[in-house]
Amino acid sequence: MNAIEEKIAPDMLQSYLHSRGWTSIASGPVSQLWIPGGGQSSEVLVPTRGDASDFQKRLRILLSDLVEFERRDVKAIESDIASIYLDVTNLRAAHPSAIDDSIPLQAGYELFASAHKILVASAAATIRRQGHFRNMPLRAREHAKNVRLGHTKRGSYVIPILSQARAPELVYEPNQEHIDLEIEETLFDRRVAATMSRALGTLQKMVSADRSPTASEMSDSIGEGVSRELCRAVGSVIKSDAVAEMDISFAWSDVTSPPSGATELVHFEKESEPLVKMVSEYLMRVPQVRQHVVYGVITELKRRPDENTGRVGLESLIDGRRKVVWMDLGIDSYHLAVRCHDSGTPVVVRGFLDNAPGRVATMDPTEFGPDVSLVSQKLP
Q: List, as one string, the DSSP characters of 294-305.
A: EEEEEEEEE--T
Residue 8 has pLDDT above 80, yes or no: yes
Residue 169 has pLDDT above 80, yes or no: no
Q: Report the chain's mean pLDDT, rounded to a whole number.
A: 89
pLDDT in tens, 83-92: 888 899 999 8
Q: What is the pLDDT of residue 310?
A: 96
Cα gap 258→205, rounded to integer Å? 20
Residue 98 has pLDDT above 60, yes or no: no
Average pLDDT estimate for 277-286: 96
Is residue 161 within a helix (H) or strand (E), and if so which, with residue range?
strand 157-164
Cα gap 130→159, rounded to integer Å? 28
Cα of first residue to Cα of last residue in the chain, in angstroms, is 43
Share of the chain above pLDDT 90, in %: 56
Q: What is the pLDDT of residue 144?
A: 86
The 10 Å CB-count burial string (b at 16+, else e) for 66-96 is bbebeeeebeebbebbbbbbbbbbbbbbbbe
Average pLDDT estimate for 231-238: 94
Share of the chain above pLDDT 70, in %: 94
**DSSP codes, 129-154:** E-S--SS--HHHHHHHHHSEE---BT
Q: What is the pLDDT of residue 374?
A: 83
pLDDT in tens, 348-361: 999 999 998 888 99
Q: Which residues contact 21 (CB under 8 A, 6 or more apart)?
A: 36, 37, 38
Domain regions of the chain by residue span:
3-82, 86-285, 291-370
Cα gap 158→243, rounded to integer Å? 13
Residue 380 has pLDDT above 60, yes or no: no
The residue that leads in pLDDT, 210 or 330, is: 330
Give the pLDDT band (50/70/90) at residue 177.
Answer: confident
Give the pLDDT band (50/70/90) at residue 363.
Answer: very high
Give the pLDDT band (50/70/90) at residue 3.
Answer: low
Average pLDDT estimate for 277-291: 93
Q: Which residues contact 174 (CB under 8 A, 6 or more apart)?
A: 342, 343, 344
Cα gap 371→296, rounded to integer Å? 8
Give the pLDDT band (50/70/90) at residue 80.
Answer: confident
Give the pLDDT band (50/70/90) at residue 227.
Answer: very high
Is residue 333 within a helix (H) or strand (E), and if so which, with residue range?
helix 331-343
Q: What is the pLDDT of residue 38?
A: 79
Give the pLDDT band (50/70/90) at residue 315.
Answer: very high
Residue 379 has pLDDT above 70, yes or no: no
Give the pLDDT band (50/70/90) at residue 244.
Answer: confident
pLDDT in tens, 112-162: 899 999 999 999 999 999 999 988 999 999 988 888 888 777 667 888 898
Q: What is the pLDDT of residue 186?
A: 81
The residue that leads in pLDDT, 166 or 293, is: 293
Q: What is the pLDDT of residue 242?
A: 79
**Using alpha carbons only, what angle is made at residue 314 by residues 367 and 202, rounded to the nearest 5 degrees?**
30
Please give the model's pTM, rounded to 2 decimal places: 0.83
Residue 61 has pLDDT above 80, yes or no: yes
Instruction: Confirm or reject CATH 2.40.50.140 for domain 291-370, answering yes or no.
Output: yes
